[in-house]
Amino acid sequence: MKKNNKNASQTQALLPVVLIAASVGILVSGAFVQGSVWPLAFGSAALLLCALAIHEMSKKRQLVLQAEIEALSSTVNELSKTDTEKVELIQLADTWVPTLNSQLSTANSQMEMGIVNLAEAFSEIHSKLNDTVNVAAGAAHVLGNTSGGGNGLADHVAQSLNGMLSSIRNSFDEKATIMQEVKGFISSTEELAKMAASVENLAARTNLLALNAAIEAARAGEDGRGFSIVADEVRKLSMLSAETGVKIRERVQLIASAAKKAGDGAARMESSDEKVLSQASETLSGVVEQFEQVTVPLHQASEQIIANTNQVSSSLNNAVVHFQFQDRVSQILGHVQDSLSQMKGQLNTGLETLNVAALMHELERKYTMAEERVNHSGKGSTNAATKPDASSDELTFF
Amino acid sequence: MSKTVLIVDDSTSLRQVVSMTLKSQGFDVVEGCDGKDALTKLDGRKISLIVSDLNMPNMDGLTFVREVKKMAAYKFVPIIMLTTESDDKLKSEGQAAGLKAWMVKPFKPEQMIAAVNKLVA
């Protein structure tokens, strides 16, 4: 097929030459046939052949021109494409890169704002939890000894009530001692009554003696007058002594009667005191038991609150570690933004100044994290490169 | 009376996280958003410890540390560098500048608390 096309092309190229040669031949032949119609015929044929030759030549020229136009058109298209690329690069630098930067910046600031708000909320929760722990710990301390696991408040109340009971018992014991004293006093009043009776007896006898003395003084006449006065005075004194003895006896009887009543009352109370103490002790045990029924669950609830709150607090602490990812993401985005800005600067000064190696070098220089370097080298697996360290645990003291 | 810690970091969220960790332990907190800002926050205030980031705008962490060490009132205040960097050369520079500790982000709260308590004790 190709061979046929080649032959046809060669034939096509030789055709005008053959046609011109033929027309010349016809004209020359016509010159030899003078004086007839043949020269006209030969001339016409030659002209026709020439026309055909010119037509072929024009056609060939047209094909050449068409090829040139196509080549020119292609060149123009190429040139136009380069210009388009330039325009696109300028647009890339002026619009696409800044737009990307803006989007990154917005995403970064929105993420930071979100994390800041979350951190604030967590901080508030953390603070409230601490308050709760303090309150619960205070309540647990009051309700019971958390370290010993005892029921502190109930024990304290029981101790107080037992102390009170003990005070009452002591008071009763003191009362019993006083009653013994009163009994001793009652027996003393009996002796006092006897002594009062002796005084009365002595007074009666003294009175009788004074009366006899007065009689004897009267018998003595004038000589016994002085003695009669003395006897009279003695009699008066004996009468006074007798009256005093009566008064003492009456008072002693009153006191003895009161003391006896008190002693009888105390004796009655003594038996009831034991009953009172026994009942009080039982009541107290009941109260303490009921109190424990209330305070023990409260104490356990307080300890549960403390345990749960500590657990939540621990979870919050873990969350704190994860909040730090925002700082890392922000740094990575910042480095990407800086690199984009650097590329924009290079593109603005022309495509020929675009230096990818310099961009990569500058980007690498700014890295602060291991995962950035792993990503840059392209050696890390996707997981290793995208997964930040949970916590580096790296702390160096100088 | 509670002790005051100066936290220097250009990341608001990171400052909050450190602040939350230290406040839970009863510390008072003052914040600076970069080295330059942090220097103005000192202002004669009694500071027991400084926690500073390394890479910050306006004034980076190492420059800030060197500036603090020039100030008579603060030259003995312990400073912890809290950064994502773990390069030994940078650590050596930090040690030469007067740092007391180098902690790599992200930090564990209990680790931060232990370090702070050790340095303010």
**Which of B76, B60, B56 is CA-nearest to residue B68?**
B76
Q: Say whether residue A133 is in contact with chain B using an 8 A CB cutoff.
A: no
ipTM given for this complex:
0.92
Find the largest Cα–Cα distance for chain B: 39
**Which of A68, A149, A92, A50 is CA-nearest to residue A345?**
A92
Q: Count CA atoms within 13 Å of residue A299 on its CB side.
A: 21
Give the three-state DSSP class for A55: helix
> Which residues make beta-bridge pairs with A73?
none
The CA-CA-CA angle for residues A56, A60, A66, to 5°, reads 140
B90 contacts on A by Cβ (under 8 Å): none
Q: Quick one: closest CA in A to B106, which residue? A: A391
The CA-CA-CA angle for residues A324, A328, A332, to 5°, reads 165
Specify the long-range contacts of residues A23-29, CB closer than 8 Å, at least 24 apart.
A23/A47, A23/A48, A23/A49, A23/A50, A23/A53
pLDDT, one tens digit per residue, over A179-238 is: 788 878 878 888 888 888 888 899 889 989 888 988 988 888 888 888 888 888 988 998
Minimum mean pLDDT among A79-88, A243-252, A378-387, B70-79: which range?
Answer: A378-387
- Give the integer Cα–Cα distance in Å for B56 and B64: 10
- Give the integer Cα–Cα distance in Å for A138 and A299: 11
pLDDT, one tens digit per residue, over A6-22 is: 455 555 555 555 655 66
Nearest to A115 among B13, B91, B108 (CB): B13
A327 and B99 within 8 Å at the Cβ level: the answer is no
Under the banding of pLDDT at 50, 70 and 90, the label for residue A259 is confident
Under the banding of pLDDT at 50, 70 and 90, the label for residue A148 is very low
Minimum distance, in Å, between the CA of residue B24 and any CA atom of chain A = 7
Under the banding of pLDDT at 50, 70 and 90, the label for residue B119 is very high
Under the banding of pLDDT at 50, 70 and 90, the label for residue B59 is very high
- Give the integer Cα–Cα distance in Å for A360 and A204: 144
Token pair in block for residue A344: 């924009």
Instruction: Spell out a b/e string for A9-21, using b for 16 or more CB atoms within 10 Å of the CB, else e.
Output: eeeeeebbeebbe
A395 and B103 within 8 Å at the Cβ level: the answer is yes
B105 and A327 within 8 Å at the Cβ level: the answer is yes
First to last CA, chain A: 88
Token pair in block for residue A37: 């119609």
pLDDT, one tens digit per residue, over A240-250 is: 988 988 888 88
The CA-CA-CA angle for residues A330, B11, A394, to 5°, reads 85
- Overall pTM > 0.80: no
Task: State phi, psi for B44 to the nearest 5 degrees.
Answer: 80, -5
Query: How much is the pLDDT for B62?
Result: 97
Minimum distance, in Å, between the CA of residue B45 and any CA atom of chain A = 25
Q: Say whether residue B95 is in contact with chain A using an 8 A CB cutoff.
A: yes
Chain B interface disruption, residue of A368, A389, A393, most B CBs within 10 A: A368
B111 and A388 within 8 Å at the Cβ level: the answer is no
B107 and A392 within 8 Å at the Cβ level: the answer is yes
